[in-house]
Amino acid sequence: MSHTHAVVIGGSMAGLCTARILSSHCDRVTVLDRDTCPAGARERAGVPQSRHVHALLVRGRRELNRLFPGFDTLMLERGAHEIDFGNDFAILRDWGWERRRPTGMLTLFASRNLIESTVRELFGKLPNVEIREQTRVTGLSMAATGPPRINTVHLVPRDADEPTSIRADLVVDASGRASKAPNWLQELGIPPPPETIVDAHTGYSSRWYQAPDHLPKDWWWKGVWLDLKLPEHPLAGVLFPVERNRWIVTLAGVSKHYPPKDEKEFTAALSQLRSPVVADAVRLAEPISSVYAYRKMANRFRRYEKWKTRVDGFIAVGDSTCAFNPVYGQGMTTGTLSAGALDECLTKYGPTHPDLSRHFFKAQAGVQAAPWGLATGADFSLPTTEGERPKGARLVGPYMNALFMAAIEDMTLRRHVGEVLQMLKPPSSFFTPAVMGRVAKGTFRRWRRHQSEQPAPPAMPPTPMPVV
Ligand SMILES: Cc1cc2nc3c(=O)[nH]c(=O)nc-3n(C[C@H](O)[C@H](O)[C@H](O)COP(=O)(O)OP(=O)(O)OC[C@H]3O[C@@H](n4cnc5c(N)ncnc54)[C@H](O)[C@@H]3O)c2cc1C
C-alpha cells in the first residue's frame, strides 16, 4: 500500500460505507460533512429524509454487517425490530389482504437515525479514518500538469470564515441527491455527466408516535402497509415500528396527490385510507412530532459511466449518482453494493490508477441498473410520470402486473418476488422461462375463475389471519 489519502464528501450512509472500503486500500481517509454528527440516534439537518420511514432490505442488512461487523448485534440491542415482512405486516394490496406466510427473510425495522449512528460509531473505531464535522465543501481543483486529475478539495471548516483546502489522491462525492459536484466540475471547465430523470411526482408526509404499551389482543401485526388505489384512494399509508416503542406513520401520494402537511389534515387523511387500521392504531398512540413533508423524490441517474470526459482522482457514489423514488426502499442497500463494487476495483487497480474511475463507474452502473429499473418501472405504470420511457416499458408493465397477481396464490412465485424486492435476486430473474411459465399458468387460472368479480376486501385485516 503506497501513501495515499482519500477524501469523502458527505458522511452519510453511502459516504461511510465507501470510506470503510477506502480505509482498507488507503493510508488515510478523511470524511467531510457540513453537519455536526449527533451523539446517538438523533436527527441532523443534512439528511431530512431521516424523518420518514426507511426500510433496510435484507441485502442491505447483510452488506452492512459485512462492512461493519457487530452492526446487527448493536442494532438489536438498541431496539431495532427483526421483522418478517410476509408474516408480521398487515398488507393491503390492490386486490385485497395479502395472506400471511413466513419467508425466513428477516429485516431490521429502525429509524434511519439509528441505522446511520450505529454505522458511524463502528466506522469511528477504524484506525486510519477521521470525520471532520461542520465542514462544507465548496469546490474542487485539478493538478496543474499531466492528464486531468482532481487533487484538491476546497472547504469552509467549522469556526472559520476563510475557505481552505486539502489535498487528496482520490476524491469521492457522497453528498447526496442534491450534490453540487456537477457544478464544481463545470467550474473547472469539465462538462458534467448526462442525467436521466423520471418523476412520478411522489410525496411523503410522516409523523412519529409513541406506541401504547398494550395493543388490542387480536392485532397480530407489527406493522401495516396499505397500498393506494386510484382514483378513489390516492394515498398509500404505512406504519413502521421503530426502536423505543415508537411508530413512524407515513402517507405517500403519487401524480401530485401530495399528502397533507397540516396535523389535523394528516389525522383526517389517515381515516380515508383503504382500511381504518392505521387511524385506529394512532388513536391509541401519542403523537411525538409534527408532520414532516418530503417532495423531491424523483428518480435521478447521473450517468458517470457514460461520461465522455476522463477525469482521474474522482468518483461519485450513492444518491449523488443514482437516487430513487424510495417506494421500494433501495437507496441505502444500493449504497452498500456500490461500496462492494469499489472494493473490487480498488483491489484490481489501486486508489491512484488512472483507470480506476472509469472502471468503477461502469461497475457501479451495473449495480444501480436493477434498482433503477424496478423503481422507474413502477413509476412508469402511472400515465402522469414524466421522463423518457425505456423501450419495452409497454410490455414489461403488464407482465409485472400479471406476475404480482400470479404471486398471490403461487407461493414459489411469491417467494421469488420477495427475494427480488429484498435485492437478493436481480429483477432479470423474472424473465426466465420457468417464471414466465408460472405467470402464464396463474393468469390462465384467474381468467377461468373470473377473479375480477371478486368481492371487495374487508376493511380491517382478518383476525386471526391464518398463516399459509
Ligand atoms: C423520503 C425518503 C425516503 C427514503 N426511504 C428509504 C428506504 O426506505 N430505504 C432505503 O434504503 N433508502 C431510502 N431512502 C434513500 C436513502 O435515504 C439514501 O439512499 C441514503 O441516505 C444514502 O444516501 P447518501 O449517503 O448517498 O446521501 P445522503 O444521505 O443524502 O447524505 C448526504 C450527506 O452529504 C452531506 N453534504 C451534502 N453537501 C455537502 C457539502 N457541500 N459539504 C459537506 N457535506 C455535504 C450531508 O450533510 C449528508 O450527510 C429514502 C430517501 C428519501 C428522500
Domain at 29, CATH number: 3.50.50.60
User: Is residue 180 domain-resident?
Assistant: yes
- Asked whether 327 lines ligand 1 (CB < 6 A), one says no
Q: Is there a single domain that holds both residue 133 and residue 240?
A: no
Does 32 sit in the ligand 1 pocket, CB within 6 Å? Answer: yes
Domain identity same for 256 and 125: no
Report how far ligand 1's centroid is from the alpha carbon of 277 (Å). Answer: 31
Q: Which of 231, 263, 294 is the last residue of a domain?
A: 294
| pLDDT tens digits for range 284-312 | 999 999 999 999 899 999 999 999 888 99
460 domain-assigned: no
H/E/C letters for each residue in the chain? CCCCEEEEECCCHHHHHHHHHHCCCCCEEEEECCCCCCCCCCCCCCCHHHHCCCEECHHHHHHHHHHCCCHHHHHHHCCCEEEEHHHHEEEEECCEECCECCCCCEEEECCHHHHHHHHHHHHHCCCCEEEECCCEEEEEEECCCCCCEEEEEEEECCCCCCCEEEECCEEEECCCCCCCHHHHHHHCCCCCCCEEEEECCCEEEEEEEECCCCCCCCCCCCEEEECCECCCECEEEEEEEECCCEEEEEEEECCCCCCCCCHHHHHHHHHCCCCCHHHHHHHCCEECCCCEEECCCCEEEECHHHCCCCCECEEECHHHCEECCHHHCCHHHHHHHHHHHHHHHHHHHCCCCCCHHHHHHHHHHHHHHHHHHHHHHHHHCCCCCECCCCCCHHHHHHHHHHHHHHCCCCHHHHHHHHHHHCCCCCHHHHHCHHHHHHHHHHHHHHHHHCHHHCCCCCCCCCCCCCEC
Q: Do residues 240 and 302 both lie within one domain?
A: no
Domain contains 386: no
Confirm whether 123 is domain-assigned: yes
Ligand 1 lined by 204 (C-beta under 6 Å): yes
Question: In testing the pocket of ligand 1, which one of 12, 20, 44, 421 has its CB within 8 Å of the most ligand atoms?
Answer: 12
Asked, for residue 255, whether it belongs to a domain, the answer is yes
Domain boundary among 375, 396, 422: 375
Q: Does any domain span residue 104?
A: no
Does residue 303 share a domain with residue 168? yes
Task: Kindly state whether residue 103 falls inside one of the protein's structural domains.
Answer: no
154 with 287, same domain: the answer is no
Verify that 171 and 243 share a domain, yes or no. Answer: no
Mean pLDDT of 222-227: 97
Q: What is the pTM of this model?
A: 0.95
Q: Is 47 in the pocket of ligand 1 (CB under 6 A)?
A: yes
Residue 161, number of CB atoms within 10 A of its CB: 5
Would you say the CB of residue 203 lies under 6 angstroms from ligand 1?
no
Are 281 and 312 members of one domain?
no
Ligand 1 in reach of 174 Cβ (< 6 A): yes
Whether 319 lines ligand 1, by a CB cut-off of 6 Å, is: yes
Pick from 267-271, 359-363, 387-391: least confident: 387-391
Per-residue cell: 212 = 401504547
Could you tell me if the CB of 331 is within 6 A of ligand 1?
yes
pLDDT for the residue numbered 455: 66
Q: Residue range 340-344: average pLDDT?
A: 98
In a domain, residue 445? The reply is no
Same domain flag for 48 and 146: yes
Do 137 and 191 lie in one domain? The reply is yes
Give yes or no: residues 221 and 166 share one domain. Answer: no
By alpha-carbon position, which residue is closest to atom 37 of ligand 1? 175
What is the mean pLDDT of the segment spanning 439-462? 78
- Do 235 and 306 belong together in one domain? no
pLDDT of residue 461: 83
Which of 62, 85, 112, 131 to probe ligand 1 with, by most ligand atoms within 8 A of CB? 112
Count Cβ neighbours within 10 Å for each residue of 324-362 and write b for 16 or more, e otherwise: bbbbbbbbbbbbbbbbbbbbebbeebbbeeeebbbbbbe
Selected residue with higher pLDDT from 424 and 463: 424
* Domains held by the chain: number: 2
CB of 240 within 6 A of ligand 1: the answer is no
Q: What is the pLDDT of residue 454?
A: 63
Q: Is the CB of 52 under 6 A from ligand 1?
A: yes
- Which CATH number goes with the domain that contains 251? 3.30.70.2450
Q: How confident is the model at residue 1 (pLDDT cuts 50, 70, 90)?
A: very low
Q: List the residue whose alpha carbon is closest to atom 19 of ligand 1.
A: 331
Q: Is the pLDDT of residue 445 over 90?
A: no
Instruction: Answer whether 461 contacts ligand 1 (Cβ < 6 A).
Output: no
> pLDDT of 14-29, one tens digit each?
999 999 999 999 999 9
User: What is the extent of the structural domain holding 310?
Assistant: 5-54+113-197+297-375
- Grid coordinates representing 68 are 461493519
Nearest atom in ligand 1 to the alpha carbon of residue 116 is: 21
